[in-house]
Amino acid sequence: MNPSCNTCEFKNSSLFKNCSSDELNHLNDSKCFNVYKKGQVIFHEGNRPLGLFCVYSGKVKVSRLGSDGKEQVIRLVKKGDTLGYRSLIENSKYSASAIALDDTEACFISASEFNHLIDSNVKVASDLMRMLAKVLGDTQDKLVHLAMKPVRERLAEALLLLKSTYDDKKSEHFSISISREDLSSIVGTAKETVIRFLSEFKEEGIVSTRGSEITILRADKLLQISSLYD
């Protein structure tokens, strides 16, 4: 394993797409390849960031835990995505935790290496800025929808988010194995409430389930339900 930055699958799509070959080599020498089992914590709320992660494979949730034990998922991360940059930029402790939703591989890049890179390559810095702006926009969307939409619509939206994030178009229908607990933390509601609306969707032939696996049969209907067009 231990992929090289210069031949990495995400060389032309990651945050580092505008790095020179030299810069990539340097990155490659200093990076540290890590493997995480499903459920494993990649970084933990309250800790100091030592660098950032570049996800190579798998799925990650970034979430925060309330005092009452409830969890809220802030962001879903897929392969090719960068993880943990916000606290690094702000130079603050992690305000959320990153937990592998599946077996995950990620390269760790130290803070000093990263800071050096954004200081020396303006393009990387401005790509990073655009990424921040985009994630901020996404988060604002989430906030507004959470405040305005009922659970049914938010669930439809969450299923579409899972699909758009993790579908690699290998089969006709998108399937994902996700616990109802995790799904409810994405939607921002109780586990049972998610299950109930999921049952409705099943009756309407929009999704099917087998254990914790959910298959989306009618993405078009979900789009309609989510009112994402407005």
Partner DNA sequence: TAAAAGCATTGATAAAAATCATTTCAGTGG
Partner DNA sequence: CCACTGAAATGATTTTTATCAATGCTTTTA
Determine the Cα–Cα distance for residues 45 and 181; give it in Å rounded to an integer. 19
Report the residue from 210, 220, 229, 230 that binds DNA according to the rule CB under 7 A: 210
User: In whole angstroms, how close is the CB of 30 to a second copy at the nearest point?
Assistant: 22
* DSSP H or E stretch at residue 213: strand 213-216
DSSP secondary-structure letter at 169?
Answer: S
Which of 7, 12, 211, 220 lies at the binding interface for DNA (CB under 7 A)?
A: 211
- What character string, x for contact with DNA (CB under 7 A) and - otherwise, covers 87-126? ----------------------------------------
Residue 26 sits in the site that holds DNA (CB under 7 A): no
Question: Given CA atoms 17, 21, 27, 28 in this order, what sign does their dihedral have?
Answer: positive
Q: Site for a second copy (CB under 8 A): how many residues? A: 39
**Rg of the Cα trace of the chain?**
19
Let me know: does 190 contact 117? Beta carbons within 8 Å.
no
- The amino acid that residue 42 corresponds to is I
Site string for a second copy, 93-112 (x = CB under 8 A): --xx----------------
Around Cβ 179, how many Cβ atoms within 10 Å? 12
Binding site for a second copy (CB under 8 A): 64, 66-68, 70, 72, 74, 86, 89-90, 92, 95-96, 119, 122, 125-126, 128-130, 132-137, 139-144, 146-149, 188, 227, 230
